[in-house]
Chains A and B, each alone.
Chain A
Amino acid sequence: MTEANGTSVSIQDLSLNFGAVSVLQTLNLDVAEGEFIVLLGPSGCGKSTLLNCIAGLLDISEGRIFIKGKNVTWEEPKDRGIGMVFQSYALYPQMTVEKNLSFGLRVAGVARDEIAKRIARAAEILQIEPLLQRKPAALSGGQRQRVAIGRALVRDVDVFLFDEPLSNLDAKLRAELRVEIKLLHRKLQNTMIYVTHDQIEAMTLADRIAVMRGGIIQQLDAPQTIYNRPVNRFVAGFLGSPAMNFLDGQVEAGPVFKTDGVSVPLDRYVFDGTERPTGACVLGIRPEHIAFGDAAKSMPFSASGSVEIVEPMGSDTLVWTKLGGRNLSFRVEAERTLRPGDPVQIGFDPVRASLFDAATGNRL
């Protein structure tokens, strides 16, 4: 990555309380220059609140915020060197696109030709030149969001903040604009902090993802690491669609995982620490990591069962069976025709699985 260039945004011990309610708790986050960070989490996890704190739109209770090495904790939003894109676009309805883009520059008293130059550049990058004289009401959702991005672009800032920018768009447009944002990042090489609850956006866009819950960053890592080695059960369950399968059971010496007549040998599993824990735990395995049919037989763990439900999803098919009395889903190619009741052989390699402490939910 570009860590060599230094830190762009640094958040130190940030806390935010609304009265007695603690929204963010001693939160630390360092964002490298040019990095694309995604804050991911369910609604109410504090991700948008954190973004608003970075923008200076919310006063924080404790801690400090640095942007480009400058302590901006008490600075006004306009003085922080940030641009922001909002979920509802937040375009000024009575102004044309051009006036929307230039409003901030006009407030700041930027010279006219400079304004024109910056607007021309932003309009070219975002391909909104034909829209400049229109009012926001005459634009489609995708066009509006482009203008909203343009408003951040003309500010010529180092840090872009995105607050769920694609949530108001339909699925097709969302996918299109996602690609465009990624291209934009590659072209501009700005630092971007992006808030979303959509894991696909997070996986596709991020250099690193910060998964949040209850005002705390649960895990901050590259998308693949978060996907393959989630630090706790919450992160494991939040990422991935269809969701990870969870089996309640015990780890026993061996080590081996046991639940209702099923025992999974864990010698190939990579434990987090050096000690070998025992006791109640949860085994998680993603549907795509479960092998099926002949391939299953060669796996370190394999079992047989029967098909309960078949959910065709177009590109592939999700099949539900039972393992140790619990529902378990796995993916097969769309061409496979399985019917409820058919016998199946399944299996997986424990190196692909995740083990969590049943009480704390932490990865073992």
Chain B
Amino acid sequence: MSDQAVTLPASAGAVANRLEASGPRGPKPRHVFSRRNIFLYGTLFVVAVYYLLPLYVMVVTSLKGMPEIRLGNIFSPPLEITFEPWVKAWSTACTGLNCDGLSRGFWNSVRITVPSVLLSIAIASVNGYALANWRFKGADTFFVILIVGAFIPYQIMIYPIVIILREVGLYGSLAGLVIVHSIFGMPILTLLFRNYFSSMPEELFRAARVDGAGFWGIFLRIMAPMSLPIFVVAIILQVTGIWNDFLFGVVYTRPDTYPMTVQLNNIVNSVQGVKEYNVNMAATILTGLVPLIVYFISGKLFVRGIAAGAVKG
């Protein structure tokens, strides 16, 4: 071995020396403006502009006065910025006979969203925990029904729920809508929590049982404190989902308890009066603001939420 090691460079040396002068050496050069990069970033940039354009137009339109809108073009920035449309959209825009603006819908939505989010998550997290750790006979059957139910068009269950809510005297009230949201949020949230709790080490659950903790003890003292991320994901999912709901709002509430989306649609698509596009766009932004803020603050958790809700883990 050792004598070989000495002779090898000696014979190959001459060749190596000649190659060294001209051959590539060190890191491979990279061109920032390679054709690949231009294509890649160019495409992404164009697509990004397309995605951002509606948001831009919304904002720009809402800051213009009506005369400027009639004359100008929707893409041009406002010559004279006015917040008049925003004020009007919030406090004086009319839906039917009510002329107190979107603020009413906003507060209705808040009163709907907060309890719905809390109730639906409370129920679903316990469901998921029971399904993951305390499998009892028949539990999986109900779970499969639940999951299939998530994909069934709501239209087929709408009317029976109307009857049930009418029977218990909650039809048209905010409480009734909260119950409806909890029911229809249950499938995806239960799936989310079940998968999360299933992915936790089984031994942890066993250790807690040996320690003598029961169903609620293990959930409240061991599982829930370990699951804050998934609770945040669930909150994001539910806040945006419930805030953006239109169908349940329009079916299960009355005009004075309409959520923001329903009221927005009524303002913009009302056939009476002169169309005030700037007010409409301001109202539209206002309605989209809550989920947008949630989206931009939560960032990756939002992505995780929709991915977790959509793809089973």
Q: Which residues of A contact B (CB under 8 A)?
A: 52, 55-57, 76-78, 82-84, 86-94, 103-104, 107-108, 151, 155, 163
CA distance A108 to B213 in the complex (A): 8
**B167 CB within 8 Å of chain A:** no
Q: Is the CB of B210 within 8 A of A83?
A: yes
Assuming the contacts A55-B206, A57-B206, asked whether A94 and B213 have C-beta atoms less than 8 A apart, the reply is: no
CA distance A90 to B203 in the complex (A): 6
CA distance A322 to B208 in the complex (A): 55
Chain A contacts for B201, CB-based, 8 A: 88, 90
Picked from A76, A84, A87, A107, the residue with its CB within 8 Å of the CB of B217 is A107
What total of chain B residues lie within 8 Å of the partner, measured CB to CB?
Answer: 16
**B273 CB within 8 Å of chain A:** no
Q: Is the CB of A78 within 8 A of B204?
A: no
Picked from A82, A91, A103, the residue with its CB within 8 Å of the CB of B213 is A103
Chain B contacts for A88, CB-based, 8 A: 201, 203-204
Residue pairs across A and B with CB atoms within 8 Å: the count is 61
CA distance A151 to B211 in the complex (A): 9
CA distance A106 to B207 in the complex (A): 14
Chain A contacts for B203, CB-based, 8 A: 86-90, 163
CA distance A84 to B226 in the complex (A): 21
Chain A contacts for B206, CB-based, 8 A: 52, 55, 57, 77, 84, 86, 90
Chain B contacts for A76, CB-based, 8 A: 209, 212
Q: How far is the CB of B81 from chain A (nearest CB, A)?
A: 50
Q: How far is the CB of A79 from chain B (nearest CB, A)?
A: 8
Picked from B204, B210, B226, the residue with its CB within 8 Å of the CB of A77 is B210
**B222 CB within 8 Å of chain A:** yes
Q: Is the CB of A78 within 8 A of B210?
A: yes
Q: Is the CB of B210 within 8 A of A55?
A: yes
CA distance A86 to B201 in the complex (A): 11
A–B complex contacts, Cβ < 8 Å, 16 sampled = A77-B209, A77-B210, A78-B211, A82-B210, A83-B210, A84-B207, A86-B206, A86-B207, A88-B204, A89-B203, A90-B206, A103-B211, A103-B213, A104-B211, A107-B217, A155-B211
Q: Is the CB of A151 within 8 A of B212?
A: no
Q: Is the CB of B210 within 8 A of A94?
A: no
- Among B203, B208, B211, which residue has the most Cβ atoms of chain A within 10 A? B211
CB-based closest 6 A-B pairs: A104-B211, A78-B212, A90-B207, A90-B203, A86-B203, A94-B225
Residue in A closest to B224 when the chains form the complex, CB atoms: A94
Q: Is the CB of A93 within 8 A of B211?
A: no
Q: Which residues of B contact A (CB under 8 A)?
A: 201, 203-204, 206-213, 217, 221-222, 225-226
Chain A contacts for B208, CB-based, 8 A: 92, 103
CA distance A4 to B188 in the complex (A): 59
Picked from B204, B213, B225, B226, the residue with its CB within 8 Å of the CB of A107 is B213
Residue in A closest to B204 when the chains form the complex, CB atoms: A90
Q: Is the CB of A108 within 8 A of B226?
A: no
Chain A contacts for B217, CB-based, 8 A: 107
Q: How far is the CB of A155 from chain B (nearest CB, A)?
A: 8
Q: Is the CB of A108 within 8 A of B210?
A: no
- Among B203, B210, B213, B225, which residue has the most Cβ atoms of chain A within 10 A? B210
Q: How far is the CB of B163 from chain A (nearest CB, A)?
A: 42
Q: How far is the CB of B225 from chain A (nearest CB, A)?
A: 5
Chain A contacts for B226, CB-based, 8 A: 92-94
Residue in A closest to B212 when the chains form the complex, CB atoms: A78
Chain A contacts for B211, CB-based, 8 A: 78, 103-104, 107, 151, 155
CA distance A155 to B210 in the complex (A): 10
New contact pairs (11) apart from A76-B212, A103-B213, A163-B203, CB-CB < 8 Å:
A56-B209, A77-B206, A78-B211, A86-B207, A90-B203, A90-B204, A91-B207, A93-B226, A103-B211, A104-B213, A107-B211
Chain B contacts for A155, CB-based, 8 A: 211
Q: How far is the CB of A164 from chain B (nearest CB, A)?
A: 10
Chain A contacts for B207, CB-based, 8 A: 84, 86, 90-92, 151
Residue in A closest to B207 when the chains form the complex, CB atoms: A90
Q: Is the CB of B212 within 8 A of A92?
A: no
Chain A contacts for B209, CB-based, 8 A: 56-57, 76-78
Picked from A91, A93, A104, the residue with its CB within 8 Å of the CB of B212 is A104
Chain B contacts for A92, CB-based, 8 A: 204, 207-208, 222, 226
Chain A contacts for B213, CB-based, 8 A: 103-104, 107
Chain B contacts for A86, CB-based, 8 A: 203, 206-207
Q: Is the CB of B204 within 8 A of A108?
A: no
Assuming the contacts A90-B201, A92-B204, A107-B217, asked whether A84 and B222 have C-beta atoms less than 8 A apart, the reply is: no
CA distance A92 to B225 in the complex (A): 10
Residue in B closest to A104 when the chains form the complex, CB atoms: B211
Q: How far is the CB of B206 from chain A (nearest CB, A)?
A: 5
Q: How far is the CB of A257 from chain B (nearest CB, A)?
A: 44
CA distance A160 to B190 in the complex (A): 37
Q: How far is the CB of B109 from chain A (nearest CB, A)?
A: 34
CA distance A88 to B206 in the complex (A): 11
Q: How far is the CB of A145 from chain B (nearest CB, A)?
A: 13
Q: How far is the CB of B209 from chain A (nearest CB, A)?
A: 5
Residue in B closest to A152 when the chains form the complex, CB atoms: B210
CA distance A82 to B206 in the complex (A): 13
CA distance A87 to B203 in the complex (A): 8
